[in-house]
Amino acid sequence: MESKEKGTSHPGLEWLAIIGSVIFALIAIAVAAWWWLRPKLPVRTPLVIEPFQTKVEAGSPSQSAASVLYASPDGTGRGCGKWQDACDLQVALSRARPGQEIWVQAGLYKPAPAKSSLESTFQLKSGVALYGGFAGSETARDQRDWKAHLTVLSGDLGGDDTTDANGVVTDADKIVGQNVYHVVVAWGVDASAVLDGFVITAGYANMTPPNIHGYGGGVFNWTASPTLSNLVISGNTAGKGAAYYAGGGMLNIHSSNPALTHVTFTGNTAGSGGGMYNDNSNPTLTDAVFKGNRAIDGSCMSNTQGSRAVLSEVLFEGNTSSNKGCLDNEKSSNAKLANVTFSRNKAKYGAGMYNYQSSPTLTKVIFSDNVSSFVAGGMNNSGQSNPSLTDVYFFHNSAQSEGAGMANYEDSNPTLTNVAFVNNSASDACGGGIINYDSSPVLTNVTFSGNHGTNGGGMSSSHSNPSLTNVTFADNTSHGPGSALYNVGGSKPTVTNTILWDNAPLDAQLYDENGVSIISYSIIPGRHRGEGNLEVDPQLDKLANNGGFVPSYALLSGSPAIDAGSPSACPSTDQLGLPRPLDGDGDGSVGCDMGAFEYRPPE
């Protein structure tokens, strides 16, 4: 008899297995159906947007297509479509689509709750405009008042910084606890990303560079060109001013070209660029203020790696650098400045502006009351920097050592046209107005008045060959020789159509040591040889505002300087920007006057 094969199952058990499998499958299908078809309950959780993601989700397809979303400090709304249904700002940002605006009610906003990631941030989006300053009942954007209804974006996650009543840090030293690295981030956005009407405060970029979280405490722009208007960027820091950290208030890097209008930077700190740091980026600033910012270099702004900032109607006031000045331009960073004022800034080198291998263009710029603890109270140029200055006024700047108004080193050859140096003082060395070392600036229609240095009250030059055309030196002083011009080290200035008069000491207004100045058609004591030179009182009026951007010495009627200048070397305009030469003495022939001012006979 054949035995049963091992492992063969009983026929009844096989049917039971089949029936069990069918039942299990039916149960699985039912469970799956319930899971997919169950009601979805909305769950509101804080949204943390990673600061360096390249894309922010625009919301679900069912999102409202309304043009305005509304956010409030305690917003819990689901739709964000009206003030009564206002939502959290981060929720509004996540839902916003290109073409939409977010209206943000006054109050304090933080990118995440306490103990959240320090990478939490408010991230801008192309095509989305954020507007702050709303009371919470407006029906039109122009009804808001962003100054009266402060809308504060704060990085103080821990809530332990010292702030004012609105939650604003006014001094970055008051940041003490848990703060995000960057309050606002713009990553790859264009000009359609708008931030308007906010205070940005308490960002703390404290990771050690080159970690990107060591830069841009307030605003971090990476290949981004957002439109930024009506902002106060206050009390942010990169490393609390330690070396290598950059951009306390704002960082612009990798071809970031933001447009800033009516923006104030105050109380920010960094190693470089206390207010703003630009690396290969070209921001445009209009109607901006930098006040009370601090850094090692560039307490106001640092530009490097070919950055070309464009500044119009900007005030730099009361900023402090322990090394290089308020505006620090380096490595082919050729900024353009128009209608800009540097006042009461402090630094070791170039308290107002420091240029290294950079040649900015300045038009209608004022340097006043800036203080250098070493050299160059107004402007320091080194490393072949060749800035161009037109209508620029250096007034009452000081340097503990030399070059109170301007210092030029290392083959730096600035061009100065229609410029005045008045009451600048170099306490312990030469060059009350300008000092030159191995540099040869070109001066046309320039006035030096009331400047003081140990030597070279007006200008001091060593191993330099400056060119001076239609320049006026009067009332400058020095302890030693060269109260107007002091030339040593083989310096050989070329002086044409220039007036040196009433500088003290009177018997040493021009000093040449180991060099011979080339002087022609000029009024100068000492009977200097040269064609057309005179030694006679030029009859100068008092220093005054005679209609130009900077003050000048007008020639009185009958002055021997009238029509006595070179017939072949005359600028087309004088310091006031008015045409020259004219027939000033009424003899029927046109002649260039000596000095910066062209006399115009009464009609």
Torsion of CA 394, 398, 402, 404, to 10 degrees: 0
Do residue 367 and residue 487 come from a single domain?
yes
Question: What is the rounded CA–CA span in Å between residue 257 and residue 530?
Answer: 53
Residues 317 and 347 in one domain: no
Quote the distance between the C-alpha of residue 174 and its chain's center. 23
Q: Which residues of the chain have pLDDT under 70?
A: 1-66, 515, 527
pLDDT the model gives residue 207:
97
- Assess whether 356 and 306 both reside in one domain: no
Beta-bridge partner residues of 353: 327, 379
Radius of gyration of the chain (CA): 34
Q: Which of 313, 311, 276 is nearest to 293 (CA)?
A: 276
Count the domains in the chain. 2
**What are the C-alpha distances in Å from 535 to residues 148, 330, 526, 563?**
64, 44, 7, 16
Which regions of 80-134 does DSSP assign to beta strands (E)?
A: 101-105, 107-109, 122-123, 129-134
Confirm whether 60 is domain-assigned.
Answer: no
Structural domain contains residue 381: yes
Q: Which of 365, 393, 367 is nearest to 379 (CA)?
A: 367
**Beta-ladder partners of 263:** 231, 288
Element (H, E) at 28: helix 11-37
User: In this structure, are strands 540-544 and 552-555 parallel, antiparallel, or unpaired?
Assistant: antiparallel
Q: Are 412 and 440 in contact (CB under 8 A)?
A: no
- H-helix or E-strand containing 185? strand 184-187
Both 327 and 345 in one domain: the answer is: no
SS3 at position 214? helix
For the full predicted model, state whether its pTM sits above 0.85: yes
Q: Are residues 125 and 194 in the same domain?
A: yes
pLDDT of residue 26: 52
Q: Does 175 share its domain with 163?
A: yes
Q: Would you state the pLDDT for residue 66? A: 67
Based on DSSP, count helices (H) and strands (E) in the chain, helices before strands. Answer: 2, 46
CA distances from 100 to 107, 115, 144, 515, 583 (A): 21, 31, 18, 70, 65
What is the separation of C-alpha 377 from the centre of its chain, rounded to a whole number of angstroms? 18
- Between CA 11 and CA 17 the distance in angstroms is 10
| DSSP three-state, residue 95 | helix
Whether residues 166 and 311 fall in one domain: yes
On whether the CB atoms of residues 278 and 250 are closer than 8 A, the answer is no
321/402 same-domain check: no
pLDDT for 387 equals: 98
The residue from 333, 368, 400 where one domain ends is: 333
What residues make up the domain containing 127? 69-333
pLDDT at 528: 80
Instruction: Work out the number of other CB atoms within 10 angstroms of the CB of residue 255.
Output: 16
Local structure of 18: helix, strand or coil: helix
In a domain, 35, yes or no: no
Tell me which residue of 409, 373, 384, 172 sits closest to 271, measured CA to CA.
172
Domain final residue pick, 306, 333, 360: 333
